[in-house]
Amino acid sequence: MTDSRFVDKISGRAVPLRGNDIDTDRIIPARFLKSVSFEGLETHAFEDDRKQLEERGQVHPFSNPSYAGARILVVNGNFGCGSSREHAPQALQRWGIRAVVGESFSEIFFGNSVALGMPCLTVAAADAEALLAAAEGDPQAEVRVSVSAQTVAVNGKTYQASVPAGAREAFTAGTWDATGLLLDDFEQVKKVAASLPYVSGF
């Protein structure tokens, strides 16, 4: 196994995406879920939003060549709400995103991202604004994220971020792919199952 299991320091350019309550139907519309694999999802990330802006002569950050190759996504509040589809973080990760920074995340989106090794860091609303402005002002600016230190830094400024202890440990210890961990003590799993009246009989 390579060290890609250990997720901590991530740096790269950032793509700014403004708006509260951006739901997973917008990140990846349902029609692209009609597949038995996750392959190719990245080409459809934000497809409808991108088209609608284009029709009005505007450019969605995910269509803007200045942000091609960005590794960090900066958002506002309640990002990833709605449908539990893992296709949403899959599409972002396959597009190149390695970490998401924002004011808040939906729990299911957050958990799905943990399972993919893509940390979501929470920052204060004003700091999310500052980070959005930094990426808008200079698409080349290098953003540095540290999961263990819970910080996001850009243009010589460091912002306090937070990642819940459980997820932080999972990233830095390389156990974010939970299956192995959950199978470690299968005897205990069987014991709990047997103790439940609806499993073993009332």
Partner 1 sequence: MGQTLLQKVWDRHAVRTLPTGQTQLFIGLHLIHEVTSPQAFDMIRMRGDRVAFPDRTFATVDHIVPTLNQRRPFLDVLAEEMMCALEKNCREFGIPLYDIDNPGQGIVHVIGPELGLTQPGMTIACGDSHTSTHGAFGAIAFGIGTSQVRDVLASQCLAMEPLKVRRITVNGSLRPGVFAKDVILDIIRRLGVKGGTGYAYEYGGDAFDRMTMEERMTVCNMSIEGAARVGYVNPDETTFKYVEGRAFAPKGADFAKARSWWKSLASDSNATYDDVVLMDAGAIEPTVTWGINPGQSVGITEKLPSPGDVGASDKASVAEALEFMSFRGGMPIAGTKIDVAFIGSCTNGRISDLREAARLAKGRRVASNVKALVVPGSQSVRKLAEQEGLDKIFMEAGFEWRGAGCSMCLAMNPDQLQGRQICASSSNRNFKGRQGSPTGRTLLMSPAMVAAAAIAGEVVDVRKMLDREEVHA
Residues contributing to the site for partner 1 (CB under 8 A): 19-21, 23, 25-26, 29-31, 33-38, 48-49, 51-52, 77-78, 81-87, 89, 104, 106-108, 111-112, 115-116, 125, 164-167, 169-170, 173, 175, 177-179, 181-183, 185-186, 188-189, 192-193, 195-199, 201-202
Alpha helix (H) residue ranges in the chain: 24-27, 47-55, 87-95, 107-115, 125-137, 165-172, 179-183, 186-195, 197-200
Compute the least distance from the CB of residue 4 to partner 1, in Å.
Answer: 16
Tell me which residue of 132, 153, 41, 138 sits closest to 94, measured CA to CA: 41
Compute the least distance from the CB of residue 157 to partner 1, in Å.
Answer: 23
Compute the least distance from the CB of residue 16 to partner 1, in Å.
Answer: 15
Compute the least distance from the CB of residue 9 to partner 1, in Å.
Answer: 19
Q: Which residues pair with 123 in a beta bridge?
A: 161
- Number of Cβ within 10 Å of residue 72's Cβ equals 26
| Residue 32 and residue 51 in contact, taking contact as beta carbons nearer than 8 Å | no
Beta carbon nearer to partner 1, 124 or 199? 199
